[in-house]
A and B are shown apart, each in its own frame.
Chain A
Amino acid sequence: MAAGAAVAAGLVVTACSVDNPIAKDKSPQKPAALAPDVAVATSALAEIKVLRAAVTTTVSRFPATRAQLTPLLQLHRAHEVSLADAVPARAASGASPAPVPYAVPRKRDVALSMLLAREGRLHASLDALALRAQSGDFAQLLASMGAGIGQQLAVLPP
Chain B
Amino acid sequence: MTPVQALQKALAAEHAAVHLYGLLGGQSSKSQQPVLFARLDDAYEQHRASRDRLTVLVAARGAEPVAAEVDYDVPGPTSTPAQIEGVARTIERRVTRTYGELVANTAGDDRRWAITALDASALREVSFGVAPSSFPGLR
Q: Which residues of A contact B (CB under 8 A)?
A: 1, 3-4, 71, 74-75, 78-79, 82, 123, 127, 130-131, 136-137, 139-141, 143-148, 150-152, 154-155
Q: Do most interface residues of chain B lie in helix, strand or loop, or is the interface mixed?
A: helix
9 contacts between A and B (CB under 8 A): A3-B139, A4-B138, A123-B119, A136-B107, A139-B111, A140-B104, A144-B138, A146-B119, A147-B96
* Chain A interface, DSSP helix/strand/loop, else mixed: helix
Which one of A3, A74, A127 has the greatest number of beta carbons of chain B within 10 Å?
A: A127
* Contact with A147, one of B106, B111, B119, B127 (Cβ below 8 angstroms): B119
A130: B residues at CB distance < 8 A: 103, 111, 115
Interface hub of B116, B118, B132 (most chain A Cβ within 10 A): B132
Cross-chain contact B111 with A148 (CB below 8 angstroms): no
Report the 5 A-B pairs with minimum CB-CB distance, sorted nearest first.
A147-B122, A136-B104, A151-B132, A140-B104, A78-B134
Q: Whole-angstrom distance from the CB of A157 to the nearest CB of chain B?
A: 12
Of the residues B104, B106, B115, contact of A137 by C-beta under 8 Å = B104
Given known pairs A130-B103, A148-B122, the reply for A141 and B138 (CB within 8 Å) is yes
> How many residues from B make CB contacts under 8 Å with A?
28
Which residue from B100, B132, B133 sits with its C-beta under 8 Å from A143? B100
> What CA separation (Å) do A154 and B112 show in the bound complex?
21
Cβ A151 vs Cβ B125 within 8 A: yes
Known pairs A130-B115, A146-B119, A151-B125; A139 contacts B103 (CB<8 A): yes
* A140–B103 touching, CB < 8 Å: yes
Q: Interface code B25-40, partner A: CB below 8 Å = 1, 0 otherwise?
A: 0000000000000000
A residues near B107, Cβ cutoff 8 Å? 136
CB distance from B41 to the nearest CB of A (A): 19
* B134 proximity list for chain A (CB < 8 A): 1, 4, 74-75, 78-79, 145, 148
Chain B residues with CB below 8 A from A140, complex form: 100-101, 103-104, 137-138
